[in-house]
Structure 1
Amino acid sequence: MKIIIAGAGEVGFHLAKLLSYESQEITLIDINKESLAYADTHLDIKVIKGDATSISILRDSRIEQSDLFIAVTASETTNITACVLAKQLGSKRTIARISNTEFINFKEEGGFTKFGIDELISPESLAASEIQLSLKQSSFNDTYEFENGALTMVGLTLSRSASFVGKTVKDAAKIFPEIHFVPIAIQRFGSQYTIIPRGDTMFKRGDNVVFITSEGGAEELCRLTGKKNSEIKNVMILGGGQIGFKTARDLSDKGFNVKLLEVNKERAFDIADDLPEVLVIHSDGRNVDLLEEENISDMDAFIAVGGNSETNIMSCLVAKSKGVKKTIALVENMDYFELSHSVGIETLINKKLLAANNIFRYIRKGEVVAMTKLNNMNAELLEFEVRSSSEICNKLIKKVDFPRSAIIGGVIRNGLGVIALGDFKIQEGDRVVVCSLLQSIKGVEKLFR
């Protein structure tokens, strides 16, 4: 697959890095010589210095042969223009990164598809949505919804009090036969290896386990693991950038009590004018005395989405020490994920990873309609739509020659989520959620073509 990426910033470089691992033919375009030089020396890709809105530069990249053109520069105007030109010059599909979320909400009215833009993505909007989902499932580390919650992925670390610690998956299923969840991935405490659980896989204390749940499954998991999905009402947000602003606005609209800390005085006043229901405080969120003055111990959640990952992590640790139940940090450095979990921050948000997940479904073969990479695990969660020609269609799950390092987590049929076991028959139109280690994805994709 030939893919051209315009923009060698954080999102563009991360995408190029992930896609280069997949043996895709990648071309990276940017006007910044230093960014391209770093990508050229660290990745097996082709780089072109120039403006992505230049027709001659696009032709140099062989745009007419491209399967996908992705514009993720810092300029929304550049991204939109580049995608329009790329489509006119022969690219099969185009994706533009935008910052104005109104464009996504009114994509059809704005005529973006007619212009030649197949998809719009906003990393900031994706991050804000991820934060809201994390607050909704406050007792879990990681969350992801399929089809508006018909099936939900949740991740948690097993404590000694969890009912199924010391039991195999098969034994746990016998004890709790009416459950609405199934384990799909396990990472042992202190290990970097991801396990796709089978019947004889044993749950151990300290395991980081990812489950797929249908309706009611999250509540069952809370009861069986001794966790409490407590209600969140009072929220403090550090950082008034795009993510902080959108999160504060959306949470306030839903009835949350929101305090927002912003270090830039002018920006703080602008937010206060735009969001009258939000208490905006002009202050540095690293000031522990100020956090105490603002009653941080009374907060149900603390969300750090400032521009500095280290500040976000340290602020969350301060909040945690003051008794805040749920902490969420925006981090840019992927290496911080494991460290932050180990010191007690429940949820980490990474814009680059969210944008990559959103774009990856256009690269995956088969009828992939949604996907996400599991945090700190060597696995992906994919949602496929079953066609009449799919090899898996009209077969019982236990009769499908499924890769050993992949597992079906659930099926969505007519809008309803089902935890599908061996005797479940897959039908045309079903949406099947699969967890797979990276080396088995190609084998899984073949079943759904």
Structure 2
Amino acid sequence: MKIVIAGGGKVGSVLCTELSTEEHDIILIEKNETILDSLINKNDISGIVGNGASYDIQQEAGVDTCDLFIAVTPQDELNMIACILAKKLGARYTIARVRNPEYSSHFEYVRERLGVNMMINPEFESARSISRIIKFPTVLSVQSFANNQVELIEVEVHESSVLANLSLNDFRRQYGNVLVCAIQRGEELIIPSGSDELRDGDNVYVMGDKQVIRKFYKTVRPHKNNINSVLIIGGGRITYYLIGLLKEYRMDIKVIEQNQEIAEQLSAAYPEIEVILGDGTDQEILQQEGIDNYHAFVSLTGVDEENIIASLYAAQQDVNKVITKVNRELLLRIFDTLGMESIITPKRVIANSILRFVRSLGNPYVSDVEALYRIADNAAEAIQFKVKATSKVKNIPLEKLRTKSGILIAYIIRDHQLLIPSGQDEIKENDHVIVITKEKKFDDIDDILK
């Protein structure tokens, strides 16, 4: 697939790395020659120095023959103009990154009028991820499938946990229709069988329908109370969207922001919440604002190191849930040694959304990619396919399917029925099938076959 990307910033660089490893033909348009050269040297891509919204530059990049044009420059307007131009030139599909809240509230209207196939907002998607974690304080991450009917949650096993030293055979007998999909044990990722055992320190990925999962996670760490109050550091776009999502839960929300103009804008947008002008990384201010009285702490400043330090301090104050924004993925490796909990990386959230769209274009005759999430530090993928009539996996008992190693067929959604399949079950046409895989190039359900 020929893909042209305009913008080599945080999101653009991730897309270059991810998409080039999936054997696509990638051409990057970037104004800064130094950034462009660096990304070309790191990835198997080609590039052009210039403005992604320029007719001549798009012509030079071959946009007229490309399958997908992605505009992820820092400027919303430039991204939309670039996509409109690319569509007129002949690009089959276009994606624009749009971050401004004024545009975000009219996504569907703007998308239909401008002919942009997909509009993405890193801050809003990150806020949605944070709100899900706040709603389910006993888990480290939450992903949804099948129109929110099925959830995949990540929990940590502690020495005192009811899950410690539990075999998966006993797990299934004890918890019923809940499936352990993957186990992250240090650097190792295990796609488990019934003989595997959960150990202290494991991060376990568990899947089930929403009601069953909610009952399950309440038993895993029952000492954690529901979250009724949130202290947020940083008043940027993610905070703006997050407050809007949390308002309906009637939580006590306080924001600490050191930029007076941003603080005033946030206070005007949400007069019902408390906005404090100050440095949220200052421990004295955190104490003055009663950090130990809040159930959750979310650090969303623009500086990774400040977010890490503030989150470590919050954890020392025994705040129930600590959520941290980190942009530089190199720093994520440090988190394992620090014992941090939930981490949000906006560029990764958006890259996963775009990857899902790209995979959905792969082989629409066999199946559609309806959902895609990277789990376990990107070591595996959870993918939801819709099965078409031409698929080779149909009408064969799963125990007789010759699948590749490192694959788990986790769930089948058939009409309104949710199935954790056994060896005797079969995949049918129009089923929605959730697969866990260590491979990262599946764009249709038949890719699971040897």
What's the TM-score, normalizing by structure 1? 0.93
Tell me, yes or no, if the aligned pair for 2:385 and 2:444 is still in contact at 8 Å.
no
Residues 226/52 of structure 1: CA separation in 2 closer, same or farther (3 Å cut): closer
Q: Distance in 2 between matches of 1:387 and 1:245?
A: 41
> Equivalent residues in 2 for 1:140-289 (5 A)?
140-173=139-172, 175-176=173-174, 179-188=176-185, 191-222=186-217, 225-228=220-223, 230-289=225-284
Q: Distance in 2 between matches of 1:259 and 1:372?
A: 31
Distance 1:400 1:247, change over 3 A: same
Letter aligned with residue 9 of structure 1:
G
DSSP-derived class of the 2:329 partner: coil
Gaps of 5+ in 2: none
Residue 135 of structure 1 corresponds to 134
Structure 2 letter corresponding to 1:427: K
Summarize the Cα distance change of 1:115–1:440 in structure 2 as closer, same or farther, 3 Å threshold. Answer: closer
User: Aligned AA for 1:70?
Assistant: I
Q: What do the CA deviations read for 1:251-282 (whole angstroms, capped 9, x no partner)?
A: 13431110001010121112111110110000
- Quote the offset at 1:216 in angstroms: 3.0
- Counterpart position of 2:9: 9
Partner residue of 1:441? 442
Local SS of the residue matching 2:370: strand
**Worse-superposed segment, 346-355 or 248-257:** 248-257
Matches within 5 A, 1:94-109: 94-101=94-101, 103=103, 106-109=106-109
- CA, structure 1 residues 409+104, in 2 after alignment: closer, same or farther (shift >3 Å)? farther
1:393 aligned residue: 394
CA distance in 2, matches of 1:445, 1:60: 36
Aligned partners of 1:200, 1:122: CA distance in 2, in Å? 42
Q: Distance in 2 between matches of 1:234 and 1:164?
A: 28
Matched AA of 2:198: F
1:150-180 deviations in Å (ceiling 9; x for gaps):
111111121223444334323433x32x622
Deviation of the 1:224 alpha carbon: 5.1
SS in 2 for 1:5: strand
- Indicate the SS of the match to 1:407: strand
Question: In the aligned structure 2, how far is the partner of 1:31 from the partner of 1:179?
Answer: 55
Distance 2:411 2:345 in 1: 26
| 1: CA distance, partners of 2:439 / 2:54 | 36
Q: State how far apart, in whole Å, the 2-side matches of 1:129 and 1:417 are.
A: 25
Task: State how far apart, in whole Å, the 1-side matches of 2:162 and 2:281 are.
Answer: 39
CA change 1:162–1:419 in 2 (3 A) is: farther
Aligned-partner SS, 2:442: helix
Q: CA deviation at 1:44?
A: 1.6
Among candidates 356, 361, 365, match of residue 361 of structure 1: 356
Whether the aligned pair in 1 keeps the contact of 2:296 and 2:320 (CA below 8 Å) is: yes
Query: Residues of 1 paired with 2:326 and 2:416: CA distance?
Result: 34
Q: What is the Cα deviation at residue 221 of structure 1?
A: 3.2
Query: Which residue does the alignment assign to 2:377?
Result: 376
Measure, in 2, the Cα distance between the counterparts of 1:47 and 1:327. 40
Amino-acid identity (%):
30
The amino acid that maps onto 1:76 is D
Q: CA 1:411/1:232 → structure 2, altered by over 3 Å: closer, same or farther?
A: same
Give 1:309's match in structure 2, choosing from 269, 280, 304: 304
Task: State the distance in 1 between where 2:396 and 2:278 align.
Answer: 60
1:361-398 CA distance string (max 9 Å, x none): 12223410111111414111111111122222233332
Letter in 2 for 1:179: G
**Residues 91, 415 of structure 1: CA spacing in aligned structure 2 closer, same or farther, 3 A cutoff?**
farther
Q: Secondary structure at the match of 2:210?
A: coil
State whether residues 390 and 447 of structure 1, in contact with CA within 8 Å, keep that contact through their aligned partners in structure 2. no
Aligned residue pairs, count? 443
Give deviations 1:174-212, integer Å, cap 9, x for gaps. Answer: x32x62211111111xx3121111222222221111111
Alignment of 1:313-332 (within 5 A): 313-332=308-327
Answer with 410-419 or 353-362: which moved more. Answer: 410-419
**Contact persistence 2:40–2:47 (CA under 8 A):** yes
Q: Tell me by how many angstroms 1:297 deviates.
A: 0.6
In the alignment, what sits opposite 2:93?
93
Matched-pair contact (CA < 8 Å) for 2:224–2:320: no
SS at 2:64 equivalent: helix
Following superposition, the deviation at residue 141 of structure 1 comes to 0.9
TM value normalised by structure 2: 0.93
TM-superposed deviation, 1:43: 1.6
Q: Deviations over 1:43-96 (max 9, x none)?
A: 221010011111111111111221111100001111111111111111111111
Deviation at 1:23, TM superposition (A): 2.0
Partner AA of 1:436 in structure 2: T
Change (3 A) 1:47 1:380: same
Aligned 8 A contact 1:222 1:228 in 2: no
Q: 2:393–2:445: 8 Å Cα contact kept in structure 1?
A: no
Cα gap change, 1:105 to 1:394, in 2 (>3 Å): farther
Distance 1:445 1:58, change over 3 A: farther
Query: Matches of 1:379 and 1:433 in 2, distance apart?
Result: 13
Larger CA deviation: 362-371 vs 129-138: 362-371
Instruction: Tell me, in whole angstroms, the C-alpha distance in 2 between the residues paired with 1:329 and 1:223.
Output: 23
Provide runs of 4+ in structure 1 moved above 6 Å: none
Aligned to 2:411: 410
- Deviation digits for residues 295-341 of structure 1 (CA, Å, limit 9, x no counterpart): 11110000111101111111111111112100000000112224224
Structure-2 separation of matches of 1:361 and 1:203: 31
